[in-house]
Amino acid sequence: MTPLNRALGTCYYPEQWPREIWEEDARRMVEAGLTWVRIGEFAWQRLEPAYGHYTFDWLDEAIEVLGAAGLKVVLGTPTATPPRWMLDRHPDMIALDSEGRPRKFGSRRHYCFSHEGYKAECARIVTALAERYGRNPHVAAWQTDNEYGCHDTTISYSDAARTAFQGWLRNRFTSDKNDGDIAALNDAWGNVFWSMSYDSFDQIDLPNLTVTEPNLAHSLAFRRFSSDQVVAFNRMQVDILRAHTDAPLSHNYMGRITDFDHFKVGEDLDFATWDSYPLGFLEDRVGADAERQRTFAKQGDPDFQALHHDLYRAVGRGRWWVMEQQPGPVNWAPYNPAPLPGMVRLWTWEAFAHGAEAVCYFRWRQAPFAQEQMHAGLLRPDSADARGLDEVRQVAAELAQAPQVQQGRAPVAMIFDYDADFAWTVQPHGAGLSYFGLVFEWYKAFRSLGLSIDILPASTRDFAGYSVIAAPGLIHMSEDLKAALTASEAQVVLGPRSAARNGEMSIPVPLPPAIPGLDVTVSYVESLRPDMPVPLAGGGHLHLYREALEGTAKATLLDEEGFAVVVAQGHLTYVGAWLDQTGLRRVITHACQNADIATIDLPEGLRIRDCGHERFWLNYNAHAIQFDGLTLEPAGVYRQPLA
Ligand code: GAL
């Protein structure tokens, strides 16, 4: 059990405000109870207005002002916003979209991760910053770049990407005997199909603009390559920073962005952070139906933030923050309501309950200009307090009374695998099917039964201490992961699509899932129209996708016609369909009974998170709720000691 002190912070852009108000801003941040301030991540033009001409004096001063007021600085590297002059030096550094169109200057993230010239420029500015501020006593943490992948920027179809992809493939198909074995690639990808075989690696193009869909193996390889380019880009910055500073390094990840392997990026960093915009996400990323969007319009989805808190706790190997917390309306979703009073406080406490070390609000003051002028801050553009600031003050006062939140192991582990997400993206097999969507459905079902969850990467082999392990949708499973799950003492719930493809996206034989100790074979699969749900015997439905199951494992859930939907053998359960919440809750309740852990049927919008000796109750509803002898106000948070 690790008790941790929690802290608050904000994101500040001194370059956007007159020098005369910095002291006052810093004083007011401290007065509001903030400890951390992140700066610098979009300031490249102000730091280097012309190539090689550095102007660090203002940043020296800003750090000094903030530090002198008692704040700790997170310094961002500015590589998400290359200045306009950069394009004159490297006209081909911008990414191309899948139609081959350039993604032009005039906003941000206009770079291709594969461009060697741009990477060298990044190394240069990061080195200059690291040399200057690496030992600055006020710079207590660093952030690399800003939100890799934001605005769909992981994947680029540029010439630089093509050249790098060819090298990546050559490397992947190089063995002791053969330096770049093109025959091995042809074989692994099944290029005999449609005469797609290559004679050499430099013939392989990027998988866009083909007449019909490209080979799935080709597309998957390109996604893996694109992910590795992000990892390499980040590592380049990390290596430079480490040579000059001992301060911890981080990156701010996003909600439902899965197009690079966050676990791999996270391995090079000291802690993970993520940017939490519950109301923007509800409209834009949760995938909720209209009624649910209306119900939670001012609160956000009750499970979406929690899932990311758990995910990024894993990515940060236990250490994580919310780097950007929505403090009021945002500007970028289809509709941008103001949070229900109390929600800024609830979101903050929820993050702490999941183990966040700090929650920082984006942003300190609302900007009156440019793209995000309609995005609330803690201050209004006229510097008066904005609505969210009162709730921040309240959390700060509460933290002063009870700063520590324990963290322990959850009873349930859920495996999350970015590579599975890449494969599902390449081959969803039915409209609306996605790996993230499946994981989120399962996560919701566990949470609605009052369970706290740890997310684990697919590289995990030691599952000791968990009572239930959920592994939905792991389309690639190594033999040793299968063996580790079979050997674990937990109740293991797998499927659908478990081990359905080999590493190069072919159907393995023997047919999937081929899990030791579980005699089930998927003989065929079908995807279903959304208006064709199939009733389950005893309640609930399967929809969108199902598998035909053969074998001697015992059917534990049937459809109304008597066909097996879920089968089990010993401690292993296989779910051969996309189940609705009722169906999932039945399967999970059953597994929990077998594992001897208690479930609680929570009403809609009420969620709990257990940590160590306390239980946090969080009411996402806009109405008061009574449950288990407790009354929770709308947006209410209650900390209950556990026996
Ligand atoms: C984040 C980003 C911030 C700001 C914010 C607005 O995605 O990191 O720079 O744009 O969204 O909500």
Query: At 468, which CATH number?
Result: 3.40.50.880
Q: Is the CB of 362 under 6 A from ligand 1?
A: yes
For the chain, the straight-line distance linking the first and the last C-alpha, in angstroms and rounded, comes to 15
Q: Could you tell me if residue 551 is inside a domain?
A: yes
Domain contains 246: yes
Shared-domain flag, residues 569 and 439: yes
- Same domain assignment for residues 336 and 358: yes
CA 127 to chain centre: 28
Give the other-Cβ count within 10 Å of 5's Cβ.
11
Q: DSSP 3-state assignment of 441?
A: helix
- pLDDT tens string 235-244: 999 999 999 9
Indicate if 326 and 262 belong to the same structural domain.
yes
- Regarding whether 506 and 430 lie in a shared domain, the answer is yes
User: Which residue is closest in CA terms to ligand 1's atom 2?
Assistant: 147
Domain final residue, candidates 573, 594, 615: 594
Q: How many domains does the chain have?
A: 3
CA distance 536 to 542: 7
Confidence tier at 178 by pLDDT (50, 70, 90): confident
Q: What is the average pLDDT across 246-273? A: 98
Query: Does the beta carbon of 145 lie inside 6 Å of ligand 1?
Result: no
Among 403, 428, 454, which residue terminates a domain? 403
Determine which residue's CA is closest to atom 5 belonging to ligand 1: 362
- Rounded to the nearest angstrom, the distance between the alpha carbon of 583 and the centre of ligand 1 is 37
Instruction: Indicate left, alpha or beta for 440 from its phi (over 0: left) and psi (-120 to 50: alpha).
Output: alpha
Ligand 1 center to 362 CA (angstroms): 8
- Give CA angle at 59 (58, 63), nearest 5°: 120
Q: Are 263 and 307 found together in one domain?
A: yes
- CATH number of residue 308's parent domain: 3.20.20.80
Between CA 115 and CA 131 the distance in angstroms is 24
Structure tokens, 499: 């081990």
pLDDT tier at 408, thresholds 50, 70, 90: confident
Q: Which domain holds residue 620?
A: 606-641
Residue 226 has pLDDT above 60, yes or no: yes
CA of 146 to the centre of ligand 1 (A): 9
Tell me, yes or no, whether 221 lies in a domain.
no
What is the pTM assigned to this prediction? 0.98
Statement to judge: residues 8 and 147 lie in one domain: yes
CA distance linking residue 392 with residue 280, whole number of Å: 20
Is residue 287 included in any domain, yes or no? yes
355: in domain: yes
Q: Specify whether 24 is located in the same domain as 107.
A: yes
Per-residue pLDDT averaged across 143-150, rounded?
A: 98
Do 263 and 314 fall within a single domain?
yes
Per the CB < 8 A criterion, the answer to whether 578 and 542 are in contact is yes
Same domain, 619 and 577: no
Both tokens of residue 119?
């990477």
Distance 90 CA to ligand 1 centre (A): 26
My answer on whether 536 and 472 are in the same domain is: yes
Could you give the residue numbers annotated as active site? 147, 324
Q: How far is CA 228 from CA 2, 29, 259, 482, in A?
A: 33, 38, 10, 25
**Tokens linked to 232:** 């390499």
In a domain, 420, yes or no: yes
User: Is the domain of 380 the same as that of 505?
Assistant: no
The residue contributing the CA closest to ligand 1 atom 12 is: 330
Q: What is the pLDDT of residues 277-305, one digit of tens each?
A: 999 999 889 988 999 999 999 999 999 99
pLDDT, residue 268, reads: 98
Q: Are 328 and 237 contained in the same domain?
A: yes
Give the pLDDT band of residue 375 (cuts 50, 70, 90): very high
> Residue 212 falls within a domain, yes or no?
no
Residue 345 near residue 637 (C-beta atoms within 8 A): yes
Mean pLDDT of the chain: 97
Rounded Cα distance, 84 and 571, in Å = 59
Q: Which two tokens stand for residue 506?
A: 């072919």
* Residue 216 domain-assigned (yes or no): no
Q: Where are the beta strands (DSSP E) in 179-319?
A: 249-253, 271-276
